Amino acid sequence: MSGNGPVPILGDGGGDRSARPQVRAKGEGGVDLSRVSYKELVAEMIRRLGEDPDREGLRRTPERVERAMQFLTQGYGLEPEEVVGDALFEERHHNMVMVKDIEMYSLCEHHLLPFFGKVHVAYIPDGHIMGLSKVARLVEVFARRLQVQERLTEEIAQSVWEVVHPQGVGVVVEAFHLCMMMRGVEKQNSTTITSAMRGSFLEDARTREEFLHLAVSAHRSPS
Ligand SMILES: [Zn+2]
């Protein structure tokens, strides 16, 4: 306990929990943890790491962690259609639209540690294009969740496919994984690259090559 009066049962860190999946807590040995506040859980974690959650520098840490984690997982409360809204415009040209170097920060679901990097999204319109800033918003919908990079890549591609109904879509994600880097599992500067395609990007080798060429040159340009 922090000694600052009673700890509320439910955290007051803000954020809309109603949209999040509600999972019943079941601790080890059937202990019900569902009524323990988020702050208390974080304080207990700090204790188990051999630290004192009541010392000066850590006193407000549980509260900060709760707020940070809610922010970093706010994608659970967002839907792709909602984020794009009415930012779909009629467009008759069928040239590739590409948004490069979208910044991405996510949390690996195996270690709850960050992975981060760049996302490149391209599609060939079939009557509609999406507002450019909305592509970045779509990335956030899925990046701000507990993720693995492969699924994140697929989910971004699928959401463009379903929202814009293009002839084809391609997504490349290049990311650094702190869970590997900090534990020395991987060389410090190696990135993991994943891609996902739909429609003409799968069927037409030239489209796919054009996209990958643009994505790779984006990777090499200074940012
Ligand atoms: Zn990990």
Euclidean distance between CA atoms 55 and 50, whole angstroms: 12
Stretch (H or E) spanning 136: helix 132-143
Q: Has 108 been annotated as catalytic?
A: yes
Higher-confidence residue of 148 and 187: namely: 148
What would the pLDDT profile of 28-69 be if each residue is shown by its tens digit?
A: 677 889 999 999 999 999 999 999 999 999 999 999 999 999
For strands 168-177 and 114-124, give the pairing.
antiparallel
> Given 108, 120, 147, 167, which residue is catalytic?
108
Instruction: Give the angle subtended at the CA of 103 by the CAs of 203 and 151, to the nearest 5°.
Output: 50
Distance 137 CA to ligand 1 centre (A): 24
Beta bridge partners of residue 116, listed in sequence order:
105, 176
Instruction: Report yes or no on 98 lying in a domain.
Output: yes
Q: What is the 8-class DSSP label of residue 20?
A: S
80 is a domain residue: no
Structural domain harbouring 11: 1-72
Within this chain, do residues 90 and 183 fall inside the same structural domain, yes or no? yes
User: Tell me, what's the pLDDT at 21?
Assistant: 66
Residue 167: per-residue pLDDT: 97
- Catalytic residue, chosen from 79, 81, 103, 109, is 109
Statement to judge: residues 147 and 57 lie in one domain: no
Domain boundary among 38, 72, 106: 72
Any idea which of 135-149, 164-178, 188-202 has the lowest mean pLDDT?
Answer: 188-202
**Rounded CA separation 19/29 (Å):** 29
